[in-house]
Amino acid sequence: MGKRVGVLMGGWGEEREVSLKTGEAAVAALEAEGHTVTRVFAGPGLDRVLRTAELDVAFVALHGRMGEDGKVQGLLELLELPYTGSGVLASALAMNKPFAKKLFRLHNLPTPQGYRIGREELALLPERHGDLGFPCVVKPACGGSSLGLALVHDAEALAPAVANACRFGGEALVERFVRGHEVTVGILGGEVLGSCEIATPREGFDYDAKYKGGTSYFLPPRLSPTRLANVESLALTAWRALGCRGYGRVDLICTEEQNDFVLEVNTLPGLTPTSLLPKIAAQRGIGFSQLVERILGLATRDEAGVTELPALTSTAQPTPRRAVVG
Q: Do the beta carbons of residue 42 and residue 20 sit within 8 Å?
A: no
| pLDDT greater than 60 at residue 182 | yes
> Angle CA(241)–CA(66)–CA(85) in degrees, nearest 5?
45
Domain span at 147: 113-176
Please confirm, yes or no, whether 145 is among the known catalytic residues. yes
| pLDDT greater than 90 at residue 283 | yes
Which residues are CB-neighbours of 262 under 8 A, at least 6 positions away? 104, 109, 110, 111, 234, 235, 238, 250, 251, 252
CATH value at residue 197? 3.30.470.20
Residue of 245, 267, 286, 322 lying closest to 95 (CA atoms):
267
Residue 192 lies in a domain: yes
Residue type, 228: L
Domain closes at, from 33, 65, 84? 84
In the structure, what pLDDT confidence band is assigned to residue 107 with cuts at 50, 70 and 90?
very high
In the structure, what pLDDT confidence band is assigned to residue 326 with cuts at 50, 70 and 90?
very low
Alpha helices by DSSP H, 180-324: 207-211, 225-241, 276-283, 288-297
Residue of 169, 160, 220, 211 lying closest to 14 (CA atoms):
169
CATH value at residue 60? 3.40.50.20
Residue 163 lies in a domain: yes
| pLDDT greater than 90 at residue 246 | yes
Alpha helices by DSSP H, the chain: 16-32, 46-52, 71-78, 88-95, 97-106, 125-129, 155-166, 207-211, 225-241, 276-283, 288-297
Please confirm, yes or no, whether 275 is among the known catalytic residues. yes
Domain closes at, from 155, 176, 197? 176
What are phi and psi for residue 176, nearest 5 degrees? -65, 135
The answer to whether 77 is annotated as binding is no
The answer to whether 251 is annotated as binding is yes
pLDDT single digits (tens) 131-147: 999 999 999 999 775 78
pTM: 0.89
pLDDT of residue 314: 57
pLDDT of residue 205: 44
Catalytic residue among 19, 86, 91, 145: 145
The answer to whether 266 is annotated as binding is yes
| pLDDT greater than 90 at residue 92 | yes
Residue 254 lies in a domain: yes
Q: Look at the alpha carbons of 156, 162, 167, 168 in this order and tell me if their dihedral is positive or negative.
A: positive
pLDDT single digits (tens) 212-222: 567 899 999 99
Answer yes or no: do 215 and 168 share one domain. no
Answer yes or no: do 186 and 255 share one domain. yes
Catalytic residue among 14, 15, 68, 232: 15
pLDDT single digits (tens) 38-84: 999 999 999 999 999 999 999 999 998 889 999 999 999 999 999 99
Residue 96 lies in a domain: no
Residue 21 lies in a domain: yes
